[in-house]
Amino acid sequence: MTPLKPYQDPSLPFEERAKDLVSRMTLEERASQLRFDAPPVERLGIPAYNWWNEALHGVARAGTATTFPQAIGMAAMFDAPLMREIGGVISQEGRAKYNASAQEGDRDIYKGLTFWSPNINIFRDPRWGRGHETYGEDPYLTAQLGVQFVEGLQQTDDKGYMQAAACAKHFAVHSGPERLRHEFNAVVSDKDLWETYLPAFEALVTEAGVEAVMGAYNRTNDEPCCGSNLLLRQILRGKWNFKGHVVSDCWALKDFHTYHHVTADMEQSAALALKMGCDINCGSTYLYILSAYERGLVTEEEITQAAVHAMTTRFKLGLFDQDCGYNQVPYEVVACKEHLAVAQKAADESMVLLKNDGILPLCKEKLKTVAVIGPNADSRVALMGNYHGTADRYITPLEGIQDYLGEDVRVYYSEGAALADDRVERLALPDDRISEAVIMAKRSDVVILCLGLDETLEGEQRDTEKIFDSGDKRDLSLPPSQQKLLEAVTAVGKPVVLLMSTGSAMDLRLADQHCNAILQTWYPGGRGGKSIARILFGEVSLSGKLPVTFYRSVEDLPDFCDYSMHNRTYRYFQGEPLYPFGYGLSYSHVTLSDLQLEKAVAGNPLTLSVSACNDGGRDTDEVVQVYIKDLQSPLAVANHSLCAFTRISLRAGEKRTVSLTLSPAAFQVVDEDGSRKLDSHAFRIYVGLSQPDARSVALTGQAPLQQDISL
């Protein structure tokens, strides 16, 4: 029997096997493996592999898969365990699709196991078009949800093989403007860098062991992120001891010389990225690595190290081994009944009730006619967000309501207006569907008005078809076509329930004044319309919470290009929002009482307990939220910070005790030099169903419990 070579021996550590395999490659072969579309090395039994795959809210761009709510909607769940379960579903479906495709010899783009998700950038400004890919504006919430998603995606078997690999992106300080992203320099203080922009990345690297990190397009403090000594060498590889691989954003390395002007040509750009630790290039710049080597710009050792990082990941995924059990995951798990149930649960939990004068939930037995109106009423695009897969079935809000009501209630439907154009039919006069909408509203007991955006309006640069500003919003207003529709329908005088399908905060002041209820649906996934109907008619008691602040206007905000956190997000905003971070109404009524805190000791976790009682008439979920305010340190955030949360389920009349733990980091502040320290002995702890700002108290009618403590 021929002895196994070290790289063929599954008993050896993955990195040792990778080093042995890479040592057997020529320099040209090593360089070739640093491309996102790595070619085969047939003499060593290495098949072709495409590193580019997406799984933001389900396996994306590779055909049919279970589609979950867009990331911002999953953040609104405030449900860390469910995030882990969602990651596991995506991981299993990704492995199943990879196994089946590989058996057919299909190793195309979007069919690998290295998923470039999650996006854990901070959604600092509602104008950013890609904000709906994130988990919102809060570093703590983003870190907690991101860790669970990664651990679910990267679950391992008893032999240490990963089912799939996750990627934390975009490292770092990246949140628009999209139009400027290839040339923009995000200038940020050390305090904001370490207090806001880096904590989620640090958690995913040091706690979740994320396998990959993707650099951003922009520069941060003058260095291009995909070639940053500070970000990639000092922080990621140095301070955090990251052991996985780094991948560039797509064609970002070309920006070094074409837009950032920090290098002169392709060879210099390839050399800068490789020397700073970028292992895989999404783009074409690493086609010039060998010529950079010939010019003396990179060394053989640097090429070899990057190839080892890349091959280590492939060994961890079991791509060369027969004993990896994940290689047997069958295709039948894709969009199976169990996975679709998880997606529906996520959609149910993600939606946020912003206003309700008592009209919701609707009673089917009391309705004879319902008008469903609006450009997103029957839109499949508005279900999906961006970076999505193909659902096995789509259920729009209109279809969900029609299915729920059956033939007992007449359902009128009018598109009402185009999403952004001034008319639906090209040859018609402007506002050609408004009269139809008014006609139907007049004949209905209640109007379900479906407005908002979709990925053709807010999204990634070049991914949008009808552009606000390269995917970003110029302001928070609805498109004029929809604003006119809103005004016309509410003027009829019938009860109006507004469904807002957006991935970001909008100016809802007029809707808040004239609509009876407002439901933020986000982009809820393929069958989102079913969840919408279940919620409207009370089968599900709402429990989602806003992961972002809904401001009244862009006039409340700093300049979009200003990356300082001053007057941004709930932690620093000095004005009054329309709907605050952490806010969301329910169909039931939960009260908290009997807050108990154990003795606080500096440097130790702090455990607290609180009693939660559902004294409403419906079973419901709720989200218990804990915020902390430093009462002494001048370095503290301006307002308060989320430091713990948990989702609970309570039957009508049920009362139980809930325990939460605050980490020692909750009591620390970040100094001007970026260091974290304990700088105070006096703190105020708030425990509630929303944050402790005056607007939340006014909207909910409930003030959070609070207690001052000393360390």
Catalytic residues: 249
Check residue 287 and report its DSSP letter: G
Report the distance separating Cα 430 and Cα 421, nearest Å.
9
Cα–Cα distance list, 34 to 26, 112, 190, 591 (Å): 13, 15, 32, 56
Sort residue 223 into left (φ over 0), alpha (ψ -120 to 50) or beta. Answer: beta
Describe the chain by its helix, strand, coil percentages, rounded to 5: 35, 20, 45
- Helix 139-153 and helix 199-206: axis angle, to 10°? 30
Which of 711, 686, 689, 685 has the alpha carbon at shortest distance from 700? 689
Which of 462, 620, 606, 600 has the alpha carbon at shortest distance from 540? 620
- Which 3-state string (H, E, C) describes 361-430? CCCHHHCCEEEEECCCCCCCHHHHCCCCCECCCCCCHHHHHHHHHCCCCEEEEECCCCCCCCCCCCCCCC
Which of 562, 543, 542 has the alpha carbon at shortest distance from 554? 562
How many residues are present in the chain?
711
- The one-letter code for the residue type at 583 is Y
3-class secondary-structure state, position 642: strand
Cα–Cα distance list, 238 to 197, 205, 304, 495 (Å): 18, 12, 19, 59
Report the distance separating Cα 670 and Cα 637, nearest Å.
9
Strand order from edge to edge, sheet including 590-597 = 590-597, 606-614, 655-662
Residue whose structure tokens are 């994320």: 210
588 with 617: CB under 8 angstroms? yes
What the block records as the tokens of 69 is 């709510």
3-class secondary-structure state, position 142: helix
Count the neighbouring beta carbons within 10 Å of the beta carbon of residue 149: 32
3-class secondary-structure state, position 535: helix
Report the distance separating Cα 263 and Cα 270, nearest Å.
9
Which residues are within 8 A (CB) of 455 and not within 5 positions of it... i.e. 6 or more apart? Answer: 381, 384, 385, 386, 463, 464, 523
466 with 397: CB under 8 angstroms? no
Report the distance separating Cα 626 and Cα 642, nearest Å.
6
Question: Can you list the pairs that 507-511 forms with residues at least 24 positions away whose Cβ atoms lie under 8 Å?
Answer: 507/475, 507/476, 507/477, 507/478, 507/551, 507/552, 507/553, 507/578, 508/354, 508/550, 508/578, 508/579, 509/552, 509/553, 509/578, 510/483, 510/486, 511/486
Task: Quote the strand ranges of 617-673, DSSP E.
Answer: 620-630, 641-650, 655-662, 669-670
Q: How far is CA 170 from the centre of its chain?
A: 12
What the block records as the tokens of 283 is 């783009």
